Amino acid sequence: MSVSKYEAFARVVELGSLTRAAESLGCTQSAVSHTISGLEAELGFPVLTRSRAGVKLTGDGERVLPAVRGVLNSQERLSQIASAIRGLDSGTVRIGSFTSVAVHWLPGIIKAFQRDYPNVDIKLLNGDYYDVEQWLSDGSIDIGFVNVPCRADCFCQALMEDPLLAILPRDHKFASYPKFPLRECETEPFITLLESSNHDARKALDAAGVKPNIKYSTKDDYAIIAMVEQGLGISIMPQLLLKGRHDNIKVLELVPPASRTIGLAIPDASRDSPATKRFAEYILTWLRESA
């Protein structure tokens, strides 16, 4: 069975569209559709349903997807081992990250890595904690930035403690305080991330025995900042996410203090990949020198 059929199938699932998959693979939509049809003929059952709304995995497609990704991961590891023998002049590193790391760390890390290994392809997926753990578990990425402890079954190394801070409207009644008492989250309107992503604030509030007065929930960190600017409530954010921003908000340390631990996670299937190992080394070096 042609590996290209596996790649086309995985790319369609990843992008949710035959058209977008074709664009990323550098071919036509009809070619991708023909490839998927060929894969289904060889397997003996459909793996995708097609409609005007897009494509969707069938039940059987969901069952075979992990095995398909396993084959692609094995192919990539073989390619990277060969590249290492030749001097790491090719290969791919697939990285999963959440917003603050993607904005403040990865551009510098990738720049340093690509300066020395310009022929290694970098693919970046950006999501929340839940997304990154899911990508690690299903083999979509080779390396991921996570909130420690990580629920995915993989090697994990702590990188940095990142303090959590309160963010308030500038005219808020607590804006003049030297620090923000966490207990006030019980009475003030609180804006939070969705439950699957809200590990940081929830952990800090639970540790302090505080039940927040939640008024709004969203998946977007910067949407929370914009809502706080408009006086819709208060929130808790990691310091790294707020780095370099000049929003119309007040930022205060918490009482009691709280933090998150940013970690680096690598699935067992990727630990022997030369390009992944080398990229992990660049992460550690960049953090020592720049962060």
pLDDT digits (tens, 9 = 90+) for 245-257: 878 899 999 999 9
The alpha carbon of 53 is separated from its chain's Cα centroid by a whole number of angstroms, namely 26
What would the mean pLDDT of 208-229 be, rounded to a whole number?
94
Separation of alpha carbons 8 and 31, rounded Å: 10
pLDDT-derived band of residue 90, with 50, 70 and 90 as boundaries? confident
Separation of alpha carbons 250 and 142, rounded Å: 38
Separation of alpha carbons 185 and 91, rounded Å: 48
What would the mean pLDDT of 95-121 be, rounded to a whole number?
94
* pLDDT 10s digits, 5-31: 998 999 999 888 888 888 888 889 888
- Phi first, then psi, for residue 130 (nearest 5°) are -60, -45
Structure tokens at 209: 């025995």
The pTM score is 0.72
- Residue 249 burial (CB count, 10 A): 22
Which residues make up the CATH 1.10.10.10 domain(s) of the chain? 1-57
Query: What beta strand segments (E) does 199-258 contain?
Result: 213-218, 235-238, 249-255
Span 1-57 CATH architecture: Orthogonal Bundle (1.10)
Which pLDDT belongs to residue 2?
A: 63
pLDDT-derived band of residue 87, with 50, 70 and 90 as boundaries? low
pLDDT-derived band of residue 213, with 50, 70 and 90 as boundaries? very high
What would the mean pLDDT of 122-136 be, rounded to a whole number?
92
Cis before 163? omega within 30: no
pLDDT-derived band of residue 288, with 50, 70 and 90 as boundaries? very high
- Residue 59 burial (CB count, 10 A): 9
Which residues make up the CATH 3.40.190.10 domain(s) of the chain? 65-154+267-291
Span 65-154+267-291 CATH architecture: 3-Layer(aba) Sandwich (3.40)
Which pLDDT belongs to residue 82?
A: 74
Share of the chain above pLDDT 90, in %: 59
As a whole number, the mean pLDDT across the chain is 90
Contact 224, 100 (CB under 8 A): no
Structure tokens at 71: 């084959």
Which pLDDT belongs to residue 272?
A: 76
Fold of 160-259: D-Maltodextrin-Binding Protein; domain 2 (3.40.190)
Which residues make up the CATH 3.40.190.290 domain(s) of the chain? 160-259
